Amino acid sequence: MSALRFQQPDGDATFQDWQHVHNVIIPTHALSLEDIRERAERHHLEIAYLGHALVGCSTVRPPTDDTVTATVIARVLDAHRGQGFGEALYGRGLQRARELGARVIETVVLSSNEDGLRFARKHGFVETERYLLPGDTIPWIGSRLS
């Protein structure tokens, strides 16, 4: 069996893989390739593969100069859930956030993503806010690691 492999997106093919996972998991906030390239300059992005199969992606929004808070988001495609891949993506994101100086960890999950909400609660995240982005009808749930 193939081992899980992680890669930072570094070209059109890998940016498209990251985009595919993001847009499948978050259909209400589809991102263009240009959006993702811009995010890759500000955030730490990773893609997970099992052999050649696309499994998931993650985002770490690092702490800014005026905060010690980082946001860690792990996304896993439906076909690969329940196999520990989310754990691996989340663990790597958490480690990266702490390497970047984070002392507080937050996450955001689309309220319609029941698997994502369950994962966040299981890992000690507690809801801190609900909000709508302009034009959205499905709320986001912001949570903090307790």
Task: For 45-94, write each residue's pLDDT tens digit.
Answer: 999 999 999 999 999 999 987 889 999 999 999 999 999 999 999 999 99
**What pLDDT does 36 receive?**
96
Q: Categorize the per-residue pLDDT at 96 as very low, low, confident or very high, splitting at 50, 70 and 90.
A: very high
DSSP helix, strand, coil percent of the chain (3-state; round to 5): 35, 35, 30
Cβ-proximal residues to 38 (8 Å cutoff; 6+ apart), any chain: none
More confident residue, 115 or 65: 115
CATH number at residue 15: 3.40.630.30
Residues 26, 144: Cα–Cα separation, whole Å: 20
Domain region containing 24: 4-145
Number of domains within the chain: 1
* pTM for this model (two decimals): 0.94
Residues 33, 49: Cα–Cα separation, whole Å: 19
Q: Categorize the per-residue pLDDT at 37 as very low, low, confident or very high, splitting at 50, 70 and 90.
A: very high
**What pLDDT does 94 receive?**
97
